Amino acid sequence: MGNRNLPRSKHADPAYKRARAYLIPAAHADPDTRCPAPGCGLTLAEKQRTKPGDGWDCGHPEPDALTGQARTTYTAWHSSCNRSHGAAKGNRSRFGNALGL
């Protein structure tokens, strides 16, 4: 049996699941949606020029890369941006500056 003292995954959060259910279809329906991930800001068509097959995902509620404004709600991110950001964030929390991150 797993350790019950570990924090729950944010992906198990009911608010995340609700947001994901409407964000992804809405982002796919609007070709002008831009990814707010740090360093991105591209539409899906622009992103797919370098990442064919990339789609939308429910991203992280962090400051918007385009405006710098703090967000408290989930937004649609490109799948590749979301996974890259999540991996980097996880590595920083596990290894800190040992990896030069």
Q: How does pLDDT run across 12-60, given as a tens digit for each residue?
A: 778 888 889 999 999 999 999 999 888 899 999 999 999 999 999 998 7
Express as a percent the part of the chain with pLDDT over 70.
75
In eight-state DSSP terms, residue 77 is E
Q: Tell me, what's the pLDDT at 79? A: 93
34 in Cβ contact with 41 (< 8 Å) = yes
CA dist., res. 6 & res. 19, Å (int): 24
Q: Tell me, what's the pLDDT at 64? A: 65
Residue 83: pLDDT band with limits 50, 70, 90: confident
CA dist., res. 48 & res. 55, Å (int): 8
Buried b (16+ CB within 10 A) or exposed e, 50-86: eeeebebbbbbbeebbeeeeeeeebbbbbbbbbebbb
Look up residue 21 and give its two tokens.
């259910």
